[in-house]
Amino acid sequence: MDFLRPATWREALAAKAAHPDAVPLAGGTDLMVELNFDRRRPDRLLDLGRVAELATWETDEDTVRLGAGVPFRDIIERLAPRLPALALAAHTVGSPQIRTRGTVGGNLGTASPAGDAHPALLAAGASVEAESVRGSRDIPVEEFFTGPKRNVLAADELIRAVRIDTARGPQQFAKVGTRNAMVIAVCAFSLALHPHTRTVTTGVGSAAPTPLRARAAEAFLTGVLDEGGHWDHGRPVSPAAAARFAELAAGACAPIDDVRGSADYRRHAVGVLARRTLHWTWTAYTAPKGAASCA
């Protein structure tokens, strides 16, 4: 097996162009498992560990440009105020060791329906910056996943960064697992409130062949909040409206039965998480300024 070790991003792109079959290696927390269990035996690995550009982030007022190689630990420790849903999702990934090695770029590269970053990226409004020697393109995260463990990257492309809107309202992420830590999600849900546009956005994980947004649920809740004047008076939506939001979120799922849970359980659990995250985010939205946010 050839082991390519570019020192810069330019070198990495050139290596990927010269060897499109080379498999990128970031933190290795997915890839090394595949190699160790002999599920995959690529001819070439492209180690991105020395590419310093990937491990940094830039911020402006509206966006965080998160390098593909930033580990979950840094998101939790350094970026939680700007990216609360992603930081909450990062908190649920594996163990401290996995969070220190594992990256958002690797989570996207694997493109598992159960990847914990995905619902948070969907709800927060993110795009994937893919680059090759041919140029760079921004792919809305909703269009990035094409099937279980498949994504739209071309053979010569690498993920350079993820652009994520800075939170301007409360965000939440919640996950159901078979125990409290070190688990792949049975299902996951993320909700972002956008008081400046009076809209809401969602992300659902592990409940369909790809992560997805529950668009009908978003449209329903956006309408209820707007028509009921909730953004102004701050009262919570009625239990009936919350139940309908949950029902629409569950309806967006197309889950399967597997060892982690049945399709019916997943649909039910997504509804529960939708209602809970609505309660948490709305409580944070209406909390007196200066009070601790739940996000």
Ligand X SMILES: Cc1cc2nc3c(=O)[nH]c(=O)nc-3n(C[C@H](O)[C@H](O)[C@H](O)COP(=O)(O)OP(=O)(O)OC[C@H]3O[C@@H](n4cnc5c(N)ncnc54)[C@H](O)[C@@H]3O)c2cc1C
> Considering the complex, what minimum distance in angstroms separates the CB of residue 42 from ligand X?
9
Report the alpha-carbon distance of residue 19 to residue 130 in Å, rounded: 17
Choose one: 21-29, 80-88, 262-270, 271-279; the region binding ligand X (CB under 6 A): 21-29
> Considering the complex, what minimum distance in angstroms separates the CB of residue 270 from ligand X?
17
109 part of the interface to ligand X, by CB under 6 A: yes
Choose one: 86-94, 165-173, 189-197, 225-233; the region binding ligand X (CB under 6 A): 86-94
Cβ atoms of 134 and 127 closer than 8 Å: no
Q: How many CB atoms lie within 10 A of CB 290?
A: 6
255 part of the interface to ligand X, by CB under 6 A: no
31 part of the interface to ligand X, by CB under 6 A: yes
Choose one: 105-113, 240-248, 253-261, 273-281; the region binding ligand X (CB under 6 A): 105-113
Footprint on residues 141-200 left by ligand X (CB under 6 A): 158-159, 182
Give the DSSP H/E element, type plus range, for residue 211. Answer: none
110 part of the interface to ligand X, by CB under 6 A: yes
> Considering the complex, what minimum distance in angstroms separates the CB of residue 103 from ligand X?
4
- Please work out the total of residues on this chain that contact ligand X, with binding judged by CB under 6 A: 29
Q: Is 47 helix (H, G, I), strand (E, B) or coil?
A: strand
Sheet bearing 2-4, strands edge to edge: 2-4, 44-47, 23-25
125 part of the interface to ligand X, by CB under 6 A: no
Name the one residue in this structure whose structure tokens are 């909450």: 88
Report the alpha-carbon distance of residue 230 to residue 282 in Å, rounded: 10
Report the alpha-carbon distance of residue 188 to residue 112 in Å, rounded: 13
75 part of the interface to ligand X, by CB under 6 A: no
Q: How many helices (H) and strands (E) does the chain have?
A: 11, 13
Give the DSSP H/E element, type plus range, for residue 280. Answer: helix 263-286
> Considering the complex, what minimum distance in angstroms separates the CB of residue 219 from ligand X?
28
Report the interface residues with ligand X, using CB under 6 A.
Answer: 23-31, 33, 48, 68, 92-94, 98, 101-103, 105-107, 109-110, 115-116, 158-159, 182
